[in-house]
Structure 1
Protein backbone atom coordinates (compact mmCIF):
# COMPACT_ATOMS: atom_id res chain seq x y z
CA UNK A 1 0.00 0.00 0.00
CA UNK A 2 1.32 3.43 -0.92
CA UNK A 3 1.70 6.14 1.73
CA UNK A 4 -0.88 8.21 -0.18
CA UNK A 5 -3.43 5.40 -0.04
CA UNK A 6 -2.75 4.85 3.66
CA UNK A 7 -3.27 8.56 4.32
CA UNK A 8 -6.67 8.41 2.58
CA UNK A 9 -7.72 5.35 4.61
CA UNK A 10 -6.70 7.06 7.85
CA UNK A 11 -8.61 10.23 6.91
CA UNK A 12 -11.77 8.21 6.31
CA UNK A 13 -11.30 6.02 9.39
CA UNK A 14 -11.43 9.17 11.53
CA UNK A 15 -14.87 10.00 10.09
CA UNK A 16 -17.24 7.03 10.61
CA UNK A 17 -20.04 8.83 8.73
CA UNK A 18 -17.77 9.49 5.76
CA UNK A 19 -16.52 12.63 4.05
CA UNK A 20 -17.79 14.55 1.04
CA UNK A 21 -15.32 14.29 -1.82
CA UNK A 22 -14.48 18.01 -1.67
CA UNK A 23 -13.61 17.78 2.04
CA UNK A 24 -11.61 14.58 1.60
CA UNK A 25 -9.71 16.05 -1.35
CA UNK A 26 -8.88 19.18 0.62
CA UNK A 27 -7.55 17.16 3.55
CA UNK A 28 -5.40 14.97 1.33
CA UNK A 29 -3.96 18.01 -0.45
CA UNK A 30 -3.21 19.57 2.93
CA UNK A 31 -1.30 16.37 3.74
CA UNK A 32 0.87 16.88 0.66
CA UNK A 33 -0.89 14.50 -1.76
CA UNK A 34 -0.77 16.11 -5.19
CA UNK A 35 -3.39 13.97 -6.97
CA UNK A 36 -6.09 12.90 -4.49
CA UNK A 37 -8.40 11.83 -7.32
CA UNK A 38 -5.89 9.26 -8.55
CA UNK A 39 -5.52 7.88 -5.03
CA UNK A 40 -9.29 7.51 -4.67
CA UNK A 41 -9.55 5.69 -8.00
CA UNK A 42 -6.88 3.24 -6.88
CA UNK A 43 -8.71 2.58 -3.64
CA UNK A 44 -12.03 2.10 -5.44
CA UNK A 45 -10.40 -0.39 -7.81
CA UNK A 46 -9.03 -2.28 -4.79
CA UNK A 47 -12.49 -2.33 -3.17
CA UNK A 48 -11.31 -0.38 -0.12
CA UNK A 49 -13.51 2.75 -0.38
CA UNK A 50 -16.88 3.55 -1.87
CA UNK A 51 -19.18 6.51 -2.31
CA UNK A 52 -22.42 6.24 -0.33
CA UNK A 53 -25.08 8.99 -0.17
CA UNK A 54 -22.67 11.64 -1.34
CA UNK A 55 -19.84 10.69 1.03
CA UNK A 56 -16.74 8.53 0.77
CA UNK A 57 -16.53 5.73 3.36
CA UNK A 58 -14.31 2.76 4.06
CA UNK A 59 -15.50 -0.68 2.95
CA UNK A 60 -14.87 -3.76 5.13
CA UNK A 61 -11.82 -4.43 2.93
CA UNK A 62 -10.64 -0.89 3.63
CA UNK A 63 -10.94 -1.39 7.37
CA UNK A 64 -9.03 -4.68 7.09
CA UNK A 65 -6.29 -3.03 5.01
CA UNK A 66 -5.96 -0.30 7.63
CA UNK A 67 -5.68 -2.87 10.44
CA UNK A 68 -3.01 -4.74 8.48
CA UNK A 69 -1.07 -1.53 7.93
CA UNK A 70 -1.30 -0.70 11.62
CA UNK A 71 -0.03 -4.17 12.54
CA UNK A 72 2.86 -3.81 10.09
CA UNK A 73 3.82 -0.47 11.62
CA UNK A 74 3.64 -1.98 15.11
CA UNK A 75 5.89 -4.85 14.05
CA UNK A 76 8.38 -2.43 12.51
CA UNK A 77 8.55 -0.47 15.78
CA UNK A 78 8.63 -3.54 18.04
CA UNK A 79 11.80 -3.37 20.18
CA UNK A 80 11.56 -7.12 20.80
CA UNK A 81 10.15 -8.93 17.77
CA UNK A 82 9.67 -12.67 17.93
CA UNK A 83 12.24 -14.79 16.11
CA UNK A 84 11.18 -17.56 13.73
CA UNK A 85 10.48 -20.59 15.85
CA UNK A 86 10.02 -18.64 19.08
CA UNK A 87 7.06 -19.91 21.09
CA UNK A 88 4.89 -18.44 23.81
CA UNK A 89 4.92 -20.32 27.10
CA UNK A 90 3.31 -18.22 29.87
CA UNK A 91 2.89 -20.11 33.10
CA UNK A 92 -0.17 -18.02 34.07
CA UNK A 93 -1.93 -16.48 31.05
CA UNK A 94 -3.46 -13.55 32.93
CA UNK A 95 -0.02 -12.52 34.21
CA UNK A 96 0.48 -10.54 31.02
CA UNK A 97 -2.53 -8.44 32.03
CA UNK A 98 -0.79 -7.18 35.17
CA UNK A 99 -0.09 -3.47 35.28
CA UNK A 100 1.96 -1.32 37.61
CA UNK A 101 3.82 1.98 37.82
CA UNK A 102 7.27 2.95 38.86
CA UNK A 103 6.71 5.90 41.16
CA UNK A 104 10.40 6.64 40.75
CA UNK A 105 13.63 4.72 40.46
CA UNK A 106 17.38 5.12 40.29
CA UNK A 107 19.70 3.28 37.92
CA UNK A 108 23.25 3.12 39.28
CA UNK A 109 25.42 2.24 36.29
CA UNK A 110 28.64 0.32 36.86
CA UNK A 111 31.34 -0.55 34.35
CA UNK A 112 32.62 -4.03 35.17
CA UNK A 113 35.24 -6.51 33.96
CA UNK A 114 33.68 -8.61 31.12
CA UNK A 115 35.53 -11.74 32.28
CA UNK A 116 34.24 -11.43 35.84
CA UNK A 117 30.68 -10.87 34.62
CA UNK A 118 30.91 -13.80 32.20
CA UNK A 119 31.47 -16.13 35.17
CA UNK A 120 28.03 -15.19 36.51
CA UNK A 121 26.17 -15.83 33.25
CA UNK A 122 24.70 -19.14 32.12
CA UNK A 123 25.54 -20.23 28.58
CA UNK A 124 24.76 -18.97 25.96
CA UNK A 125 24.59 -15.49 27.51
CA UNK A 126 27.64 -13.29 27.19
CA UNK A 127 28.36 -9.71 28.29
CA UNK A 128 27.65 -6.88 25.91
CA UNK A 129 30.71 -4.68 25.74
CA UNK A 130 30.47 -0.91 25.30
CA UNK A 131 33.48 1.38 25.51
CA UNK A 132 35.63 -1.64 26.23
CA UNK A 133 33.75 -2.77 29.33
CA UNK A 134 30.70 -4.73 30.47
CA UNK A 135 27.81 -3.08 32.33
CA UNK A 136 25.61 -3.78 35.33
CA UNK A 137 22.77 -1.48 36.39
CA UNK A 138 21.56 -1.48 39.97
CA UNK A 139 17.87 -0.59 39.57
CA UNK A 140 16.15 0.44 42.79
CA UNK A 141 12.47 1.20 42.25
CA UNK A 142 9.27 1.99 44.08
CA UNK A 143 6.37 0.14 42.46
CA UNK A 144 2.77 1.21 42.97
CA UNK A 145 -0.57 -0.59 42.69
CA UNK A 146 0.54 -3.78 40.93
CA UNK A 147 -2.70 -5.52 39.92
CA UNK A 148 -4.49 -7.18 36.99
CA UNK A 149 -5.65 -4.55 34.52
CA UNK A 150 -9.23 -3.52 35.12
CA UNK A 151 -9.07 -3.82 38.91
CA UNK A 152 -9.15 -0.80 41.17
CA UNK A 153 -5.76 0.57 42.29
CA UNK A 154 -7.05 0.02 45.84
CA UNK A 155 -6.54 -3.71 45.23
CA UNK A 156 -2.97 -3.28 44.05
CA UNK A 157 0.29 -4.08 45.83
CA UNK A 158 2.91 -1.42 46.57
CA UNK A 159 6.49 -2.49 47.24
CA UNK A 160 10.18 -1.82 46.61
CA UNK A 161 12.49 -3.82 44.42
CA UNK A 162 16.19 -3.78 43.58
CA UNK A 163 17.60 -5.62 40.57
CA UNK A 164 21.16 -5.99 39.35
CA UNK A 165 20.74 -6.07 35.58
CA UNK A 166 23.67 -7.05 33.40
CA UNK A 167 23.67 -6.02 29.72
CA UNK A 168 23.99 -9.29 27.80
CA UNK A 169 23.36 -10.92 24.45
CA UNK A 170 23.06 -14.40 22.94
CA UNK A 171 22.91 -16.05 19.54
CA UNK A 172 19.79 -18.12 18.84
CA UNK A 173 19.65 -21.38 16.92
CA UNK A 174 19.31 -19.53 13.62
CA UNK A 175 22.44 -17.53 14.32
CA UNK A 176 20.74 -14.22 15.08
CA UNK A 177 21.80 -12.05 18.02
CA UNK A 178 19.32 -10.83 20.63
CA UNK A 179 20.28 -8.34 23.32
CA UNK A 180 18.69 -7.77 26.71
CA UNK A 181 19.32 -8.00 30.43
CA UNK A 182 20.13 -10.77 32.87
CA UNK A 183 19.46 -10.27 36.56
CA UNK A 184 22.46 -11.52 38.51
CA UNK A 185 20.69 -10.61 41.75
CA UNK A 186 17.32 -9.22 42.90
CA UNK A 187 15.49 -8.49 46.15
CA UNK A 188 12.05 -7.23 47.03
CA UNK A 189 10.57 -5.81 50.21
CA UNK A 190 7.35 -7.84 49.86
CA UNK A 191 7.46 -11.53 50.86
CA UNK A 192 4.32 -12.30 48.84
CA UNK A 193 5.84 -10.82 45.66
CA UNK A 194 9.01 -12.78 46.35
CA UNK A 195 7.02 -16.01 46.65
CA UNK A 196 5.10 -15.32 43.45
CA UNK A 197 8.25 -14.42 41.55
CA UNK A 198 10.10 -17.52 42.65
CA UNK A 199 7.13 -19.75 41.76
CA UNK A 200 6.67 -18.51 38.18
CA UNK A 201 8.68 -19.45 35.11
CA UNK A 202 8.51 -15.80 34.06
CA UNK A 203 10.87 -14.86 36.90
CA UNK A 204 12.75 -18.10 37.46
CA UNK A 205 16.07 -16.63 36.33
CA UNK A 206 17.59 -16.77 39.80
CA UNK A 207 16.22 -16.86 43.34
CA UNK A 208 14.64 -13.59 44.40
CA UNK A 209 15.79 -12.48 47.81
CA UNK A 210 14.00 -10.50 50.48
CA UNK A 211 15.22 -7.32 52.13
CA UNK A 212 14.12 -4.40 54.21
CA UNK A 213 14.04 -1.39 51.91
CA UNK A 214 13.32 2.31 51.99
CA UNK A 215 13.11 5.18 49.53
CA UNK A 216 12.65 8.58 51.16
CA UNK A 217 12.69 12.02 49.61
CA UNK A 218 13.47 15.45 51.06
CA UNK A 219 13.41 18.07 48.36
CA UNK A 220 15.78 16.99 45.60
CA UNK A 221 17.54 14.50 47.87
CA UNK A 222 16.47 10.88 47.50
CA UNK A 223 17.70 8.39 50.09
CA UNK A 224 17.58 4.66 49.34
CA UNK A 225 18.49 1.75 51.56
CA UNK A 226 18.52 -2.04 51.17
CA UNK A 227 19.24 -4.37 54.08
CA UNK A 228 18.97 -8.01 52.90
CA UNK A 229 17.70 -10.80 55.08
CA UNK A 230 20.50 -13.00 56.52
CA UNK A 231 19.76 -15.73 53.98
CA UNK A 232 20.76 -13.36 51.16
CA UNK A 233 24.01 -11.69 52.25
CA UNK A 234 26.10 -9.35 50.15
CA UNK A 235 23.44 -6.92 48.96
CA UNK A 236 23.59 -3.95 51.32
CA UNK A 237 22.91 -0.72 49.49
CA UNK A 238 22.87 2.81 50.89
CA UNK A 239 22.66 5.87 48.70
CA UNK A 240 21.79 9.54 48.84
CA UNK A 241 21.19 11.09 45.43
CA UNK A 242 20.69 14.68 44.37
CA UNK A 243 17.93 14.27 41.78
CA UNK A 244 17.91 17.83 40.46
CA UNK A 245 17.62 17.05 36.72
CA UNK A 246 20.90 17.05 34.83
CA UNK A 247 21.27 16.44 31.11
CA UNK A 248 25.06 16.16 31.16
CA UNK A 249 26.92 13.10 32.49
CA UNK A 250 29.24 13.36 35.50
CA UNK A 251 32.94 13.91 35.05
CA UNK A 252 34.63 10.63 34.22
CA UNK A 253 31.64 8.98 32.57
CA UNK A 254 32.37 7.28 29.24
CA UNK A 255 29.02 8.45 27.88
CA UNK A 256 29.06 11.92 26.28
CA UNK A 257 25.33 12.50 26.84
CA UNK A 258 22.00 10.83 27.58
CA UNK A 259 21.41 9.85 23.97
CA UNK A 260 24.66 7.91 23.85
CA UNK A 261 23.71 5.56 26.71
CA UNK A 262 20.07 5.33 25.67
CA UNK A 263 20.29 2.23 23.49
CA UNK A 264 22.85 0.28 25.58
CA UNK A 265 21.38 0.90 29.04
CA UNK A 266 17.89 2.40 28.70
CA UNK A 267 16.32 0.76 25.63
CA UNK A 268 16.50 -2.69 27.18
CA UNK A 269 13.11 -4.43 27.24
CA UNK A 270 13.97 -8.13 27.49
CA UNK A 271 15.00 -10.12 30.55
CA UNK A 272 16.59 -13.50 29.89
CA UNK A 273 16.63 -16.84 31.65
CA UNK A 274 18.16 -20.12 30.53
CA UNK A 275 16.79 -23.64 31.08
CA UNK A 276 16.23 -26.89 29.19
CA UNK A 277 18.15 -25.84 26.09
CA UNK A 278 16.09 -22.66 25.70
CA UNK A 279 16.53 -18.98 26.41
CA UNK A 280 13.38 -17.63 28.05
CA UNK A 281 12.52 -14.05 27.10
CA UNK A 282 10.32 -11.87 29.33
CA UNK A 283 9.53 -8.59 27.61
CA UNK A 284 8.29 -5.48 29.38
CA UNK A 285 6.12 -3.07 27.43
CA UNK A 286 6.58 0.26 29.14
CA UNK A 287 6.35 3.96 28.70
CA UNK A 288 9.59 5.81 27.93
CA UNK A 289 11.97 6.28 30.83
CA UNK A 290 12.03 9.93 31.83
CA UNK A 291 15.70 9.58 32.68
CA UNK A 292 18.04 12.35 33.80
CA UNK A 293 21.48 12.17 35.32
CA UNK A 294 21.57 12.40 39.11
CA UNK A 295 24.47 13.15 41.45
CA UNK A 296 25.40 10.51 44.06
CA UNK A 297 26.06 12.41 47.29
CA UNK A 298 26.78 9.18 49.18
CA UNK A 299 26.82 5.62 47.86
CA UNK A 300 27.75 2.18 49.15
CA UNK A 301 26.86 -0.86 47.02
CA UNK A 302 28.20 -4.01 48.64
CA UNK A 303 27.61 -6.31 45.69
CA UNK A 304 29.62 -4.17 43.26
CA UNK A 305 32.23 -2.84 45.66
CA UNK A 306 32.95 -6.07 47.55
CA UNK A 307 31.12 -8.86 45.73
CA UNK A 308 31.84 -11.10 42.74
CA UNK A 309 32.39 -8.18 40.36
CA UNK A 310 35.01 -6.52 42.55
CA UNK A 311 37.72 -5.43 42.24
CA UNK A 312 37.49 -3.27 39.18
CA UNK A 313 33.81 -2.32 39.19
CA UNK A 314 33.65 1.41 38.52
CA UNK A 315 30.71 3.73 39.15
CA UNK A 316 30.07 5.50 35.85
CA UNK A 317 26.82 7.40 36.33
CA UNK A 318 23.43 7.47 38.01
CA UNK A 319 20.07 8.00 36.34
CA UNK A 320 16.93 9.18 38.10
CA UNK A 321 13.69 7.88 36.59
CA UNK A 322 10.23 9.29 37.20
CA UNK A 323 6.71 7.91 36.67
CA UNK A 324 6.61 5.00 34.24
CA UNK A 325 3.80 2.51 33.59
CA UNK A 326 4.46 -0.98 32.30
CA UNK A 327 3.13 -4.52 31.88
CA UNK A 328 4.52 -7.87 30.74
CA UNK A 329 4.09 -9.71 27.49
CA UNK A 330 3.51 -13.46 27.48
CA UNK A 331 6.71 -15.32 28.24
CA UNK A 332 8.51 -16.59 25.12
CA UNK A 333 11.37 -19.00 24.56
CA UNK A 334 13.65 -20.14 21.76
CA UNK A 335 16.49 -22.55 21.16
CA UNK A 336 19.98 -21.17 21.29
CA UNK A 337 23.09 -21.89 19.23
CA UNK A 338 25.36 -24.57 20.68
Structure 2
Protein backbone atom coordinates (compact mmCIF):
# COMPACT_ATOMS: atom_id res chain seq x y z
CA UNK A 1 0.00 0.00 0.00
CA UNK A 2 1.29 3.45 -0.91
CA UNK A 3 1.50 5.58 2.22
CA UNK A 4 -0.20 8.99 1.92
CA UNK A 5 1.27 12.40 2.52
CA UNK A 6 -0.28 13.95 5.59
CA UNK A 7 -1.24 17.60 6.08
CA UNK A 8 -1.47 19.14 9.54
CA UNK A 9 -1.01 22.19 11.70
CA UNK A 10 1.68 21.97 14.35
CA UNK A 11 -0.34 23.62 17.09
CA UNK A 12 2.51 23.18 19.57
CA UNK A 13 5.87 21.49 19.27
CA UNK A 14 8.03 21.56 22.38
CA UNK A 15 11.61 20.34 21.93
CA UNK A 16 13.41 19.59 25.19
CA UNK A 17 17.06 19.03 24.34
CA UNK A 18 19.92 17.25 26.09
CA UNK A 19 23.63 17.18 25.37
CA UNK A 20 24.83 13.61 25.53
CA UNK A 21 28.15 11.79 25.63
CA UNK A 22 28.74 10.63 22.02
CA UNK A 23 29.80 7.10 22.99
CA UNK A 24 26.69 6.64 25.10
CA UNK A 25 24.45 7.95 22.32
CA UNK A 26 26.13 5.67 19.77
CA UNK A 27 25.19 2.60 21.81
CA UNK A 28 21.51 3.47 21.36
CA UNK A 29 21.66 3.66 17.56
CA UNK A 30 21.22 1.10 14.79
CA UNK A 31 24.37 0.18 12.92
CA UNK A 32 23.95 2.50 9.95
CA UNK A 33 23.48 5.66 12.05
CA UNK A 34 25.97 7.67 14.08
CA UNK A 35 25.45 10.63 16.43
CA UNK A 36 25.50 14.08 14.86
CA UNK A 37 27.87 16.09 17.03
CA UNK A 38 27.59 19.73 18.05
CA UNK A 39 30.59 21.18 19.89
CA UNK A 40 31.67 17.67 20.78
CA UNK A 41 28.29 16.57 22.15
CA UNK A 42 25.58 14.31 20.78
CA UNK A 43 22.14 15.95 20.75
CA UNK A 44 19.06 14.13 22.02
CA UNK A 45 15.71 15.12 23.37
CA UNK A 46 11.96 14.82 23.65
CA UNK A 47 9.52 16.22 21.09
CA UNK A 48 6.10 16.93 22.65
CA UNK A 49 3.81 17.57 19.73
CA UNK A 50 0.17 18.58 19.44
CA UNK A 51 -1.09 18.26 15.90
CA UNK A 52 -4.35 19.61 14.53
CA UNK A 53 -6.09 19.07 11.22
CA UNK A 54 -4.20 15.84 10.48
CA UNK A 55 -5.46 14.30 7.25
CA UNK A 56 -4.26 13.01 3.88
CA UNK A 57 -3.29 15.99 1.75
CA UNK A 58 -6.19 15.30 -0.60
CA UNK A 59 -8.82 15.38 2.17
CA UNK A 60 -10.77 18.51 3.19
CA UNK A 61 -9.65 20.29 6.38
CA UNK A 62 -12.97 19.43 8.02
CA UNK A 63 -11.85 15.80 8.23
CA UNK A 64 -8.64 16.63 10.10
CA UNK A 65 -7.96 15.07 13.51
CA UNK A 66 -6.17 16.38 16.59
CA UNK A 67 -3.78 14.50 18.86
CA UNK A 68 -1.08 14.77 21.51
CA UNK A 69 2.12 12.93 20.64
CA UNK A 70 5.65 12.41 21.93
CA UNK A 71 8.89 11.21 20.38
CA UNK A 72 12.25 10.54 22.00
CA UNK A 73 14.94 11.55 19.50
CA UNK A 74 18.67 11.44 18.87
CA UNK A 75 20.21 13.66 16.16
CA UNK A 76 22.03 11.42 13.69
CA UNK A 77 23.91 11.34 10.43
CA UNK A 78 24.48 8.60 7.88
CA UNK A 79 26.13 8.05 4.53
CA UNK A 80 23.64 8.52 1.69
CA UNK A 81 24.15 8.10 -2.06
CA UNK A 82 25.06 11.80 -2.42
CA UNK A 83 27.05 12.23 0.77
CA UNK A 84 26.35 12.64 4.49
CA UNK A 85 22.69 13.11 5.41
CA UNK A 86 21.26 14.31 8.73
CA UNK A 87 18.07 13.68 10.65
CA UNK A 88 16.87 12.06 13.85
CA UNK A 89 16.57 8.52 15.13
CA UNK A 90 13.42 7.90 17.16
CA UNK A 91 13.62 4.90 19.48
CA UNK A 92 10.10 5.49 20.71
CA UNK A 93 6.91 7.27 19.62
CA UNK A 94 3.82 7.59 21.82
CA UNK A 95 0.40 9.13 21.33
CA UNK A 96 -2.89 9.74 23.07
CA UNK A 97 -4.71 8.80 19.85
CA UNK A 98 -6.02 5.28 19.41
CA UNK A 99 -6.19 5.92 15.66
CA UNK A 100 -2.52 6.90 15.51
CA UNK A 101 -1.60 3.76 17.42
CA UNK A 102 -3.48 1.61 14.92
CA UNK A 103 -2.46 3.49 11.76
CA UNK A 104 1.21 4.11 12.60
CA UNK A 105 3.32 1.59 10.71
CA UNK A 106 0.30 0.56 8.64
CA UNK A 107 -1.26 3.59 6.93
CA UNK A 108 1.62 6.01 7.60
CA UNK A 109 5.20 5.47 8.86
CA UNK A 110 5.96 5.35 12.57
CA UNK A 111 4.70 2.78 15.06
CA UNK A 112 3.24 4.40 18.19
CA UNK A 113 2.66 3.27 21.75
CA UNK A 114 -0.26 4.60 23.78
CA UNK A 115 0.22 7.24 26.45
CA UNK A 116 -1.91 9.39 28.72
CA UNK A 117 -1.09 13.11 28.54
CA UNK A 118 -1.63 15.90 31.07
CA UNK A 119 -1.24 19.34 29.48
CA UNK A 120 -1.60 22.75 31.13
CA UNK A 121 -0.97 25.75 28.91
CA UNK A 122 -1.14 29.48 29.61
CA UNK A 123 0.59 32.43 27.89
CA UNK A 124 3.26 32.33 30.63
CA UNK A 125 3.81 28.62 31.18
CA UNK A 126 3.53 25.28 29.39
CA UNK A 127 3.50 21.95 31.20
CA UNK A 128 3.33 18.63 29.38
CA UNK A 129 3.38 15.34 31.25
CA UNK A 130 2.82 11.83 29.98
CA UNK A 131 2.85 8.25 31.15
CA UNK A 132 2.91 5.43 28.64
CA UNK A 133 0.30 2.70 28.97
CA UNK A 134 3.04 0.07 29.25
CA UNK A 135 4.49 1.98 32.20
CA UNK A 136 7.92 2.16 30.59
CA UNK A 137 8.20 5.91 30.01
CA UNK A 138 7.27 9.00 32.01
CA UNK A 139 7.87 12.65 31.15
CA UNK A 140 7.00 15.83 33.05
CA UNK A 141 8.28 19.13 31.63
CA UNK A 142 7.48 22.75 32.47
CA UNK A 143 8.73 25.53 30.20
CA UNK A 144 8.27 29.29 30.16
CA UNK A 145 8.68 31.53 27.11
CA UNK A 146 11.99 33.40 26.78
CA UNK A 147 13.10 36.30 24.60
CA UNK A 148 16.31 34.52 23.62
CA UNK A 149 18.13 31.25 24.09
CA UNK A 150 20.24 31.37 27.24
CA UNK A 151 22.53 28.90 28.96
CA UNK A 152 22.85 26.42 26.09
CA UNK A 153 26.24 24.78 25.58
CA UNK A 154 25.07 23.31 22.26
CA UNK A 155 23.97 26.47 20.45
CA UNK A 156 25.31 30.02 20.51
CA UNK A 157 21.88 31.55 19.93
CA UNK A 158 18.32 30.85 18.83
CA UNK A 159 19.14 31.23 15.13
CA UNK A 160 21.82 28.53 15.31
CA UNK A 161 19.50 26.19 17.19
CA UNK A 162 16.72 26.81 14.67
CA UNK A 163 18.98 25.97 11.72
CA UNK A 164 20.16 22.77 13.37
CA UNK A 165 16.68 21.39 13.98
CA UNK A 166 15.35 22.56 10.63
CA UNK A 167 18.10 20.55 8.92
CA UNK A 168 17.04 17.43 10.84
CA UNK A 169 13.69 17.11 9.09
CA UNK A 170 14.13 13.41 8.26
CA UNK A 171 13.11 11.04 11.04
CA UNK A 172 13.67 7.29 11.18
CA UNK A 173 11.90 5.39 13.92
CA UNK A 174 12.30 1.95 15.43
CA UNK A 175 9.82 -0.77 14.51
CA UNK A 176 8.67 -3.82 16.40
CA UNK A 177 10.20 -6.19 13.86
CA UNK A 178 13.66 -4.71 14.39
CA UNK A 179 14.47 -5.32 10.72
CA UNK A 180 13.90 -1.82 9.37
CA UNK A 181 13.29 1.79 10.36
CA UNK A 182 10.20 3.70 9.27
CA UNK A 183 11.01 7.04 7.63
CA UNK A 184 9.14 10.34 7.48
CA UNK A 185 10.14 13.90 6.57
CA UNK A 186 8.68 17.11 7.98
CA UNK A 187 8.10 19.81 5.36
CA UNK A 188 6.97 23.36 6.05
CA UNK A 189 7.43 26.71 4.34
CA UNK A 190 6.68 28.49 7.63
CA UNK A 191 9.45 27.21 9.91
CA UNK A 192 9.69 29.29 13.08
CA UNK A 193 10.83 28.44 16.59
CA UNK A 194 10.97 30.41 19.82
CA UNK A 195 13.17 30.01 22.87
CA UNK A 196 11.92 28.47 26.07
CA UNK A 197 13.26 28.44 29.64
CA UNK A 198 13.00 25.05 31.35
CA UNK A 199 11.62 25.35 34.87
CA UNK A 200 11.36 21.61 35.57
CA UNK A 201 12.11 18.48 33.58
CA UNK A 202 11.86 14.81 34.49
CA UNK A 203 12.24 11.96 32.01
CA UNK A 204 12.47 8.28 32.83
CA UNK A 205 14.35 7.86 29.54
CA UNK A 206 17.10 10.40 30.18
CA UNK A 207 17.15 9.95 33.96
CA UNK A 208 17.80 6.19 33.68
CA UNK A 209 21.37 5.60 34.98
CA UNK A 210 21.62 2.28 33.16
CA UNK A 211 20.98 3.96 29.82
CA UNK A 212 22.77 7.23 30.64
CA UNK A 213 25.37 6.88 33.42
CA UNK A 214 25.58 9.98 35.67
CA UNK A 215 26.92 12.99 33.82
CA UNK A 216 26.38 11.62 30.30
CA UNK A 217 23.01 13.31 29.57
CA UNK A 218 22.53 16.93 30.65
CA UNK A 219 19.51 19.15 30.04
CA UNK A 220 20.57 21.91 27.65
CA UNK A 221 17.68 23.98 26.26
CA UNK A 222 14.09 24.09 25.05
CA UNK A 223 12.48 25.38 21.88
CA UNK A 224 8.81 25.94 21.06
CA UNK A 225 7.03 25.98 17.70
CA UNK A 226 3.40 27.09 17.41
CA UNK A 227 0.71 27.21 14.73
CA UNK A 228 2.88 26.09 11.82
CA UNK A 229 1.25 24.38 8.80
CA UNK A 230 3.23 21.29 7.87
CA UNK A 231 3.20 18.17 5.74
CA UNK A 232 4.60 14.76 6.69
CA UNK A 233 6.09 12.90 3.74
CA UNK A 234 6.82 9.14 3.80
CA UNK A 235 10.43 8.11 3.17
CA UNK A 236 11.74 4.72 2.04
CA UNK A 237 12.43 2.50 5.03
CA UNK A 238 16.01 1.95 6.17
CA UNK A 239 17.57 -1.37 7.18
CA UNK A 240 18.18 -1.20 10.91
CA UNK A 241 20.99 -3.71 11.51
CA UNK A 242 21.27 -5.08 15.03
CA UNK A 243 21.10 -1.76 16.89
CA UNK A 244 18.68 -0.43 19.44
CA UNK A 245 15.01 -1.36 19.45
CA UNK A 246 12.19 0.42 21.26
CA UNK A 247 13.21 2.32 24.36
CA UNK A 248 11.97 0.87 27.62
Write the mapping of 1:234-245 to structure 2, written as runs, cut at 5 A.
235-243=137-145, 245=146
C-alpha contact (below 8 Å) 1:286/1:327 kept by paired residues: yes
1:115 paired to 2:115: no
Q: TM-score when scaled to structure 1?
A: 0.63
154, 161, 169: which is aligned to 1:254? 154
Tell me how far 1:162 sits from its aligned partner.
0.6
Q: Which residue of 1 aligns with 2:204?
A: 302
Count of aligned residue pairs for this structure pair: 236
Pairwise CA RMSD: 2.6
- The match for 1:282 among 184, 189, 194 is 184
Map of 1:223 onto structure 2? 127
- Tell whether 2:222 aligns with 1:318: yes
Q: Is the 2:33–2:78 Cα contact (8 Å) retained in structure 1? A: yes
Take 2:184 and 2:161, find their aligned partners in 1: how far apart are those partners?
A: 22
- Structure 1 spans left out of the alignment, 5+ residues: 1-90
Q: Does residue 292 in structure 1 map to residue 212 in structure 2?
A: no
Greater fraction strand: 2
Task: Write 1 or 2 for the structure with the bigger share of helix.
Answer: 1
Residues 160-199 of structure 1 correspond to what in structure 2 (within 5 A)?
A: 160-172=68-80, 174=81, 176-199=83-106
Tell me the distance in 2 between the aligned counterparts of 1:142 and 1:105. Answer: 6
Specify the structure having the higher radius of gyration (Cα): 1
**Aligned pairs for 1:1-338 within 5 A:** 91-93=1-3, 95-96=4-5, 98-172=6-80, 174=81, 176-200=83-107, 202-203=109-110, 207-229=111-133, 231-233=134-136, 235-243=137-145, 245-247=146-148, 249-272=149-172, 281-306=183-208, 308-311=211-214, 312-332=216-236
Structure 2 unmatched runs, 5+: 241-248
SS of the equivalent of 1:198 reads coil
Greater relative contact order (Cα < 8 A, sep 6+):
2
